A and B are shown apart, each in its own frame.
Chain A
Amino acid sequence: ETGVTQTPRHLVMGMTNKKSLKCEQHLGHNAMYWYKQSAKKPLELMFVYNFKEQTENNSVPSRFSPECPNSSHLFLHLHTLQPEDSALYLCASSHSGTSGRIYEQYFGPGTRLTVT
């Protein structure tokens, strides 16, 4: 059973809506991640947080706004999305790898987002 949970599992929203994706980890990790998974495209890293501080923003449009209130929770706030933003959004957590050591990233099951 994964220690990373994501809610909701499925979300359909219009282009003018505002919604949020939630991720929670119970593994004692201090790094959390958002990824975007689209068909036939590489799995795309969006944001990285280490100890609640954003350490990576992979040129993500501002209509995606992450929030990390503590090391166990990560949100992705969505507003005025486009149909091409429809994808599976995966959250992951790990111990921080900025020291150069390898730590496995543990993934949640994802939120399937459809923008209409």
Chain B
Amino acid sequence: GEDVEQSLFLSVREGDSSVINCTYTDSSSTYLYWYKQEPGAGLQLLTYIFSNMDMKQDQRLTVLLNKKDKHLSLRIADTQTGDSAIYFCAESSSYNTDKLIFGTGTRLQVFP
């Protein structure tokens, strides 16, 4: 079945880069997403990537996709304390983008 896996925790120093990793099993996944959940709030879409792309960059965020290994990563440059949150990886097919399969989320803690 479909499965998305992430490590549960990541701790980084302010100003360093953070790299959050995700693996997925569904080879028909067409879109891969990163959502952010701040404390006490719902999830917010950060970015997404289409499976025919290798990389997408948006300001401090860089998404890398290795489709052969079914591996997705989110790099946050110059990590700030405001980046402390839970980051969820998700995937969907192209024909039904309503149905998102999420991972466990990675809790990013940024310390000064």
**Chain A residues near B (Cβ < 8 Å):** 2, 4, 31, 33, 35, 40-45, 48, 50, 55-56, 90, 92, 94, 96-98, 100-110
Question: A90 touching B42 by the CB < 8 A rule?
Answer: yes
From B40, B88, B97, give the contact of A100 (CB < 8 A): B97
CA gap between A98 and B8 in the complex, in Å: 31
Residues of chain A with a CB closer than 8 A to B40's CB: 109
Question: A2 touching B94 by the CB < 8 A rule?
Answer: no
Check: B110 CB closer than 8 A to any chain A CB.
Answer: no
- Which residue of chain A has its CB nearest to the CB of B102? A43
Question: A40 touching B96 by the CB < 8 A rule?
Answer: no
From B44, B92, B101, give the contact of A107 (CB < 8 A): B44
Question: B88 touching A96 by the CB < 8 A rule?
Answer: no
Count B-side interface residues using an 8 Å CB cutoff: 26
16 A-B pairs whose Cβ atoms sit less than 8 Å apart in the complex? A33-B98, A42-B4, A43-B90, A45-B101, A45-B102, A48-B99, A90-B42, A96-B98, A97-B97, A98-B95, A98-B98, A100-B95, A100-B96, A100-B97, A105-B45, A106-B42
Question: A45 touching B99 by the CB < 8 A rule?
Answer: yes
Residues of chain A with a CB closer than 8 A to B97's CB: 97-98, 100-103
From A2, A40, A55, give the contact of B98 (CB < 8 A): A55
Q: From known contacts A4-B42, A42-B4, A109-B41, infer whether A97 and B98 are also in contact, taking CB-CB under 8 Å.
A: yes
- Which residue of chain A has its CB nearest to the CB of B30? A100
Residues of chain A with a CB closer than 8 A to B45's CB: 104-105
